[in-house]
Structure 1
């Protein structure tokens, strides 16, 4: 659990290669304290390394004479002449703190600090330095480390026992390494915006993963800086040399020092206001050409940092050999601290960039839709390979972690299919108890390595419902599935039984799913290239197939508020659905459905409170004057989805889409087929949709969805086949961007030849609220938007809303005003999920 948790938080990149004699040593300050992650390189050779957290380093160089350069932010650069022979060479660097001297400076009128003139020059040069090369390649090494300093006894109610700690690799006090990985990647760039990554090798301690190997160039020449991942701060952070930086930062001249014949100015960077996406720390700028020489900058909660408590970034930049006046990042270290849900953790992302080639020759069509490709042997390299290419010496705890966890992993992998291990895994599933049978449910697997069988049971008490038609409703559901990994096939069977206590109706149905998987080791149908679903039986359905109200919420409102918003009918049905994902990322979803639709009426008026109210009829009474009559329907539908410009990551066994700058387009067509199998419907309807998220960084995130459609033919349309607009009459918010928070459920349903529907919401992500004292400390963010549909002048609706999200990282509260067909507006409050964690919760 914890390992997966940190896998969501961390993100990174890449590597280096070397051969011959080892040059090793340690970097300390004058008092002997190690300087963690100091940068070292052999002048003119293109070879370099980075010290580990104990200041120790090693570098492999061919025999010859070199000048070894050592750098650390805040310390004077040091050079040592060395001669490499066939025997290992030990080198020690004792670094002196940089002694900056205060030059005679001209103070402008008004007492402006001289740092401002230097920053203005750096800002002028920023566009030129942001993309100084038309093309280049380099290798990047990244080591990612996460360690816990303490764990709670429970996380989200789940107890952490000693066995859990042992599986995580921590001691009984909850301290230890929980994640360690290394990776080596080749980065290729071609102006203006083409980039491709080739992951050469990657490893994770105690697992068969590829490690973190995404690019982590923290580019301070960019106006808006992304640190590791936008999840830490969707708005990004303002660079200290951004075009508008002077509005956000104050600067102080700290002095200058000379290095390799160049004067370097040290400047203190200070935010003008707290709770803005801003850095604090020092940045060193070269005099005359105004490059970033090095920096040490921090982010905290007052910088609107999410998830992490603090981030400290150190970078050293250096000129690229053979390129006039071109500097690139030589090494980068990011140190973070993290406290959440009682978990106390720290870690590092360490990057070393090497082997820059500024005149690469790319093969034809090298830059394509695959922006990241993994070598087929990415995680197959032995320990000796990593010892030969690693530019950063491992620390003792990292050596132990690899040794212990890799040994355990190898043993588990080699014996995974053995009867002993399978018996142990089955035993670990625990006993089937009465509480599991009737409430929480359970699952079982035979853990076969090539064709596992899996069974799950859902506890009926957990699925209890109540409505005015069936009274108390019990549901029984189970799933039996089998995966054939070598053949990449998947089959599952899911039976359902629903019984209404009050009307004594039994509704059994089942579905059979067959899928061709995209990866042999996965049994998840969502990863399938294509799959078929055959369903049939007798079931209960809502008139609006989008199910705008959940059965659980309807049960609560029926019992407590005497409201029966959910309208349902029974149907004998058979359906066949086919979904296929093409290589060009077109998604085809086709289905054919037969229904024998049966009306059902209220059988009870019981509720706990407010019994003086009357329940409404069990049909969309806003559209029908009486209950519909039994009829049959054969309906065929097809939907095409396509996202232009989609980009991909090519793993050794599968290809995964990662998004595009263009929106998703969808076109759907539905046909009600008359007279076939006694069908009583005859209609044709269409729908075109477009949706996307647009991140404006400092200005926030805009999400939108637009639909248009209508009936081409409405000769015979049953109420179940109308165009329904998803309303909501509950305090709990319905699905954002797909519903109307104050609209009734069926009052506006239509068979019109044309309609339009639009949803838009803007997440300010701290903009504006960071000026309000309480909100900025709590990190509560403003969200606002509007929803609307138009059928005709007598049937249209608009609602506007504004609210706060990221409340306790999970909740969102909106105040909504709705205007139906020109009538006097109504207002209400809606509570839902939104924010850092809540935004990923699906509202149903």
Structure 2
């Protein structure tokens, strides 16, 4: 007790006598200056005003100098004496009084801004490398609001209940996302970084909020915005080494603050539709540092998805010779599909330490780590650490949505609430069964059970073996939230009306659900991490393609058979039993092992029906006729396989209960091996097959991105290899592109399949991401981008293939069109067009 009393006395003394200073920051016309920077000169820390120009900070008794800054306005200082009571301290800033200093204009009439920019370019690298290491704290607030919403998006109706859940009014206006977080940042040269998220809050949920501090570094040649998601090429910095080739500059004048002369320079892109900023940058005279930036990106800057992005920054001295970013605001607007939204990311950086002492092995492959209590902080805690006062609409949003969330969470264990959620799912209609599909849940957080039905009509197929094919599939899942696992059972039935075969099989999965959402996020167990061990057992009777890579979509095969008399897909029937084990180790090593038994039975064509008949086109037999003279004989095969995949230098985000990989600057290496066992369970197979691959995506910023995949492999033993177990090179004879980097876009499906002792393949494509096309008048407005590359394989002099392609992607952000030319076995092949998905959105879509 004797030790505790003095501590309590100190605590109550400091809190009792600390005073709160509040006030507003406006211009000389009475308009609020949103997100103005407020600094305490004696402490090197401060706060930021909110969007209405209101600020608040707490100070212990003493004398202080309060400094207020806003881009484009003269900084203002006020000295205050703090006692034990609060005080009101308002600021009225006036626009900076720019002076056009006497300058010597060169004989070619060059604007004086160019000399200032050249000096800043010379100092850029030195300022970029000024610190060997540092730590700081970043407060991030993210706000997204809608100004209008449509009643339908992509044909899906948005009813009043959906609007209410989003938090918008009857006009479609309101806050749809609000979060704040506090993160400690640690950095050490050359590229070591660690982010420790101390607290995070998300309105209406127990999420962690937007917690990644977006350091937008204007001392780099290539400036990345939002992680490059909306502009993978990045943007040319106004003081980059080659900036004079991209920008024009205009000297607007200079002003003095705290004894320093500040030059304001207008930044003007030399050409439209280049990745360039426009706006102003302020550079200090003599030492040529960045003082502030106020820069804009638009569609003419090759900005994707978003309509505009505006970035403001204020820099300040952390020490006499070291300056860092004090606050940063990124504003954006979005107006697509009838959705009119605006938002901002506010970052406030405080408590810089430029001489930190890091513990041994402090920097590791975890670059971002969440505290176990990150989302469990109280409202009082946030009031104490928040450097930016909340707006009235933000206070209301937290109050309303958090109360709804607490009610739903607390009610989730009551039968009444679960019954209401089940009723909201509605009745299962005929339309649900045939076309829409449906998912139904019991909404029990302790025994979470779901049923997911796949619509029947969307699974209808047609082929020359089975004729019209009906498929039925449903998945029954049982969740175990306390251990982050799920058990699912998926039966599948299939009937062919022409060959009158009925096939049925089922799959049992037991796998991780580490990122469980909406069930039990309150678990304190931190043991699941990124490690996972998953099991799958399946068996029954099914239809399979000869190439297990399934190069031909059943839907596209149906279209080509019915309308063009091409039955490209070759299938066989098999009774099978398969066990799969797969997972990821703590180090990021991915592994998989499987054991397969198949009793393989041949199938022949039973129908030649097609909607359109062509006299000169004949249907082909239902087997790889390019490699076989006749149908295969029924046989059995027992095959075991193992694969290992590893990407060195993998980085991770460590959440309280799971880990997420972020990738690496190194390629991914994968080694796989398959063994066909002879005379086990009647198996007729006897082979050993291996494959080693290297894949990588290399971002060259302004020069675009190169993606490649290299494979080598072969058969160590080929005593008894059936066509199903050959090394098949995924061909494609449809106008629809097959999977890029894994396929040969105009190669035959089976003509080059092999059991050779060695083969090698190459897939490479370069995405120009706006390079070159931004010089062409039409394309630069559309943001359609060039893509080019090659696919090739080599087995021997009689079995080799090369194709070269070039095309356009990002067509309507979704589509890609290529012209492909090929050489097969050293002879001219063909030239064809392929249409696929590619671009900002299309490149992220995978079709089954």
Task: Give the TM-score range, shorter chain.
Answer: over 0.9
Give CA-to-partner distance per residue, 1:130-173, whole Å, 9 cap, x none.
12111110001011000000011110110111111000000011
In the TM superposition, what are the counterparts of 1:573-588 in structure 2 within 5 Å?
573-588=576-591
Contact 1:816 1:828 in 2 (8 A): yes
User: Which of 483-492 and 331-340 deviates more?
Assistant: 483-492
Give CA-to-partner distance per residue, 1:485-510, whole Å, 9 cap, x none.
11333211111111110000111111
- Residue of structure 1 in register with 2:830 after alignment: 826
For residue 51 of structure 1, the aligned residue among 49, 52, 63 is 49
For residue 652 of structure 2, the aligned residue among 642, 648, 651 is 648
Please report how far the alpha carbon of residue 527 of structure 1 lies from its aligned counterpart in structure 2 after TM superposition.
Answer: 8.3
For residue 369 of structure 2, the aligned residue among 367, 373, 378 is 373
- Residue of structure 1 in register with 2:607 after alignment: 604
Contact 1:833 1:843 in 2 (8 A): no
- Residue of structure 2 in register with 1:156 after alignment: 154
TM-score (norm 2): 0.96
Q: Distance in 1 between matches of 2:408 and 2:56?
A: 33
Q: Distance in 2 between matches of 1:532 and 1:651?
A: 24
- Residue of structure 2 in register with 1:721 after alignment: 725
How many residues of Structure 1 are paired with residues of Structure 2 in the alignment?
Answer: 826
Please report how far the alpha carbon of residue 481 of structure 1 lies from its aligned counterpart in structure 2 after TM superposition.
Answer: 1.1
Q: Distance in 2 between matches of 1:722 and 1:124?
A: 60
- Residue of structure 2 in register with 1:424 after alignment: 420
Please report how far the alpha carbon of residue 340 of structure 1 lies from its aligned counterpart in structure 2 after TM superposition.
Answer: 1.3
For residue 294 of structure 2, the aligned residue among 293, 296, 307 is 296
Please report how far the alpha carbon of residue 297 of structure 1 lies from its aligned counterpart in structure 2 after TM superposition.
Answer: 0.5
Contact 1:517 1:523 in 2 (8 A): no
User: Which of 790-799 and 45-54 deviates more?
Assistant: 45-54
| SS of residue matched to 1:438 | helix
| SS of residue matched to 2:77 | strand
In the TM superposition, what are the counterparts of 1:509-524 in structure 2 within 5 Å?
509-519=505-515
Please report how far the alpha carbon of residue 518 of structure 1 lies from its aligned counterpart in structure 2 after TM superposition.
Answer: 3.2
Q: Distance in 2 between matches of 1:326 and 1:566?
A: 66
In the TM superposition, what are the counterparts of 1:428-439 in structure 2 within 5 Å?
428-439=424-435
Please report how far the alpha carbon of residue 60 of structure 1 lies from its aligned counterpart in structure 2 after TM superposition.
Answer: 1.1
Question: In the alignment, is residue 270 of structure 1 matched against residue 273 of structure 2?
Answer: no
- Residue of structure 2 in register with 1:475 after alignment: 471
For residue 562 of structure 2, the aligned residue among 559, 562, 582 is 559
TM-score (norm 1): 0.96
Q: Which runs of 5+ in 1 are unaligned?
A: 1-16
Q: Distance in 1 between matches of 2:113 and 2:361?
A: 46
Q: Distance in 1 between matches of 2:773 and 2:519?
A: 44
Give CA-to-partner distance per residue, 1:240-273, whole Å, 9 cap, x none.
0000000000001111111101111111100000
In the TM superposition, what are the counterparts of 1:189-208 in structure 2 within 5 Å?
189-208=187-206
Question: In the alignment, is residue 796 of structure 1 matched against residue 792 of structure 2?
Answer: no
Please report how far the alpha carbon of residue 428 of structure 1 lies from its aligned counterpart in structure 2 after TM superposition.
Answer: 1.1
Q: What RMSD over aligned residues (CA atoms) do the two structures have, in Å? A: 1.6
Contact 2:565 2:612 in 1 (8 A): yes
Contact 2:530 2:660 in 1 (8 A): no
For residue 535 of structure 1, the aligned residue among 505, 514, 538 is 538
- Residue of structure 1 in register with 2:716 after alignment: 712
Q: Distance in 2 between matches of 1:24 and 1:527?
A: 46
Distance 1:27 1:215, change over 3 A: same
For residue 221 of structure 2, the aligned residue among 220, 223, 228 is 223
| SS of residue matched to 2:689 | strand
- Residue of structure 1 in register with 2:11 after alignment: none
In the TM superposition, what are the counterparts of 1:644-793 in structure 2 within 5 Å?
644-793=648-797
Give CA-to-partner distance per residue, 1:575-600, whole Å, 9 cap, x none.
11100211011111100101110001
For residue 638 of structure 1, the aligned residue among 620, 639, 642 is 642
For residue 334 of structure 1, the aligned residue among 330, 347, 354 is 330
For residue 280 of structure 1, the aligned residue among 278, 281, 285 is 278
- Residue of structure 1 in register with 2:8 after alignment: none
Please report how far the alpha carbon of residue 766 of structure 1 lies from its aligned counterpart in structure 2 after TM superposition.
Answer: 0.5
Please report how far the alpha carbon of residue 519 of structure 1 lies from its aligned counterpart in structure 2 after TM superposition.
Answer: 4.9
- Residue of structure 1 in register with 2:181 after alignment: 183
Contact 1:517 1:529 in 2 (8 A): no
For residue 380 of structure 2, the aligned residue among 381, 384, 398 is 384
Please report how far the alpha carbon of residue 516 of structure 1 lies from its aligned counterpart in structure 2 after TM superposition.
Answer: 4.3
Q: Which runs of 5+ in 2 are unaligned?
A: 1-14, 521-527
- Kindly report structure 1 stretches of 4+ aligned residues shifted beyond 4 Å: 519-528
Contact 2:445 2:519 in 1 (8 A): no
| SS of residue matched to 2:229 | helix
- Residue of structure 2 in register with 1:92 after alignment: 90
Please report how far the alpha carbon of residue 517 of structure 1 lies from its aligned counterpart in structure 2 after TM superposition.
Answer: 4.1
Distance 1:120 1:59, change over 3 A: same
